[in-house]
Amino acid sequence: MQQTDRAIAGAGCAERLAAWRGFTALVVGDFILDELVYGEAERLSPDAPVPVLLVKRREFRPGGAANVCMDLAALGARVLACGVVGEDLHGPALRAALAQHGVDGRGLLGDASRPTTLKQNLIGLAQSRHPQKMFRVDIESREQIGSEVAARLSRAIEERLGEADVVVIEDYAKGVCSDALCASVIAMARELGKPVFVDPARGVAVARYRGATAMTPNRPEAELAAGMTTEKSDDPVKQASHNARVAEKLLAEGAMEAVVLTLDKHGALLLERDASPRRPVLLPTLAREVYDVSGAGDMFIAGLAAARANGWPWQESVRFANAAAGLEVEVFGVQPIPFEQVRDALLREEAKAGNAGRGRAMSVASAQAMVRDAQRRGKKVVFTNGCFDVLHSGHVTLLEQAAALGDVLVVGLNADASVRRLKGSTRPVNHEQDRARVLSALGCVGGVVLFGDGDEAKGASEATRDTPVRLIEALRPDVLVKGGDYTRDTVVGADIVERHGGVVRIVPLVEGKSTTATIARMRSGASTRG
């Protein structure tokens, strides 16, 4: 692993995402063209008990290995496509669709003896509701490509392999990924030190992919390849222990670095050959509104290859792939998920974990993701800040009033070092993470972010390091709130918020309530009532 990759592997999620870089991926496999025929299905045919589809529009989209190319491109890859298409009307359409998204299709070879694989999807819209797939028509050949075409394809792969950072074999059992071709690709890649990720075909022996870096079979593919059933209960212990035996068998037979079983709602099970200790890791998927599972496996392997190309550890790479595939099932049809959406999903989850009573504030990157997501959905984001050392009713009232001015309240919290500079050596009374935890427990608070110390304060002047000005610039909230002891002209960051179309609001304070007075009464032993 390169020195930069070691640094990435040891970093946190936000840091790894911030360091994400482009890469080159070579995709070998069965290239498919999906045709989506949309129409209205309002009546039954008079001559048979079937719905009639009145066609309104038609779309062509890359599918199979071509869809993996699209997914990789959406994650920032330069993609080299190597496969076979027919010398028919659909071959040029597939090439054109890939070219529109920057995929290099010079490795797609024409074969007059077979059609371009076409999957025609008939999609009806009844009573102005959401689209529903009614039927699919497949036009394809499953015969293995001829020896002459196979030799040409092998040469095309060899010519491009040196440019690739990662190789993906996408096998749909349509005749391109023969045992001989896969063995050749894997051998060439290993010689050049290129990792190979395999999305296997259903019912194909693992021996076809022997020596690849990793494979990502789904549940049916894993069961057929291993000759074993998988655990289907919701018990995570049973999932990990039983399914690990399936993964272990595939790992041994495939002589691979890792096997990742994708287990639908149960997430993904990772087994690494060289992990110490060697044990299965079950990585749960996030609960999502499943709309269409089409393309989820393609998105998963693209996400895994992309994360590994960026030097991520195996577990974090699987988490990235899980997030990408989870977003895929939320949309209709096969739609590549851009890196930015995967990034924001991961950072939102990190933000939730950080504010779920674990006693730590979220990172600035996580807060940015949460704010971006909220604003993208038309939500209004409110920001306020303070030390919030000994929380009292005045604080709570301020926060509740601030939250009422929008949909999501983010609180900037002075770090301990900042509080000491502002309040003196005896403050804060409570550690920054304790203060963050208390604030996070309030129902009106959507997130807490530290400022005034660490990376956030680097490069700040002495005049601004204890103010939230850099944090406000990073978050760009819609509403900036301060208490009644401020005026518009004394609110730090007011100009930034207004420059970006936001507003500043001053809310009244609760008279007689302050942390300094509360601490003084506690030290004097006086009553704190009233």
Q: Which positions are catalytic?
A: 298
Assigned token pair, 311? 């030097």
The answer to whether 287 touches 148, Cβ cutoff 8 Å, is: no
| Contacts of residue 515, Cβ cutoff 8 Å, sequence gap at least 6 | 387, 388, 389, 390, 392, 395
**For residue 207, what is the DSSP state?**
G
User: Sign of dihedral through CA atoms 488, 493, 498, 502?
Assistant: negative
> Can you give the three-state secondary structure of 9-35, one letter per residue?
HCCCHHHHHHCCCCEEEEEEECEEEEE
CA distances from 195 to 161, 225, 460 (A): 11, 22, 42
What are the backbone angles phi and psi of residue 238, rounded to the nearest 5°? Answer: -65, -40
Is it true that the peptide bond before 280 is cis, omega within 30 degrees of 0?
A: no
Amino acid 232 reads K
List the one residue out of 398, 387, 267, 405 whose CA is nearest residue 323: 267
Could you tell me the CA-to-CA distances from 237 to 223, 231, 244, 504 in Å, in that order?
19, 10, 11, 51
Q: How would you list the strands of the sheet with 166-170, edge to edge?
A: 104-111, 77-86, 23-29, 166-170, 196-199, 214-215, 258-262, 268-272, 281-283
Please tell me whether the peptide bond between 428 and the residue prior to it is cis, using omega within 30 degrees of 0. yes
Q: How many CA atoms lie within 13 A of 3 on its CB side?
A: 0
Q: In whole angstroms, how large is the CA radius of gyration of the chain?
A: 28
Q: Which two tokens stand for residue 323?
A: 């997030």
Please report, for residues 195, 348, 427, the alpha-carbon distance to residue 515 in angstroms, rounded to integers and kept in the order given: 58, 32, 11
Q: Are 13 and 350 in contact (CB under 8 A)?
A: yes
CB of 502 within 8 A of CB of 476?
Answer: yes
For 315, the token pair is 């577990």
Indicate the angle between helix axes 236-254 and 219-226, nearest 10 degrees. 50
- Say if CB 382 and CB 364 are below 8 A apart: no
